[in-house]
Amino acid sequence: MPRFTKDGRLMIPIAKRRKNVNKSNESAVRYVVDKAFCPNGCDLIDSETVINGFPGLKIRFKRSGAEGEFVISAIEGDFDKVILSGELISGVKDELYCPHCDIPFEKLVNCKCSPDAEMVAVGLTPKLDFNNAITFCNVTGCSNGTFIKSGDAIRHIRLSSGY
């Protein structure tokens, strides 16, 4: 059931997803992103939107006939997000952009959730370095919808595809 923040923004809870999370991963130490940048070096941390105690990462999305902005949690493994404008639809791919300069995020690898799904990269330094980045799927509702470190994503893709 959706809930709203104090200022009326929609908060999408992760309760339904938690039952699918591996219990050993649940107790692991989680990484919190405190710096995140678009390919042009714009700061993506949104100090106005706090999710589970930390400022989130603001992202613009676009698809045919729709666009908007949302903020994802800065906590690794946390699927919570706040919709600032527009509507995200489960199972639908959106192109993801910087909310400041409108540059599209770089694609790291394809995601297996659907044929056209992609894992987009967000830099942890102003100059994009895929070795120092996080990545997440651009399909709403994908199990890779929370961020993971880019090196972990590449290793996972290689191991699961037999490279």
pLDDT tens, 45-78?
A: 999 999 999 999 999 999 999 999 999 999 988 8
Domains of the chain, by residue range, sit at 3-17+33-161
User: How confident is residue 144, by pLDDT bands cut at 50, 70 and 90?
Assistant: confident
Alpha-carbon span 113 to 95, nearest angstrom? 15
pLDDT averaged over every residue in the chain: 82
In DSSP terms, 32 is beta-bridged to 75
User: How confident is residue 151, by pLDDT bands cut at 50, 70 and 90?
Assistant: low
Alpha-carbon span 66 to 84, nearest angstrom? 14
User: How confident is residue 29, by pLDDT bands cut at 50, 70 and 90?
Assistant: low
Q: What is the pLDDT of residue 147?
A: 72
pTM for the model:
0.76
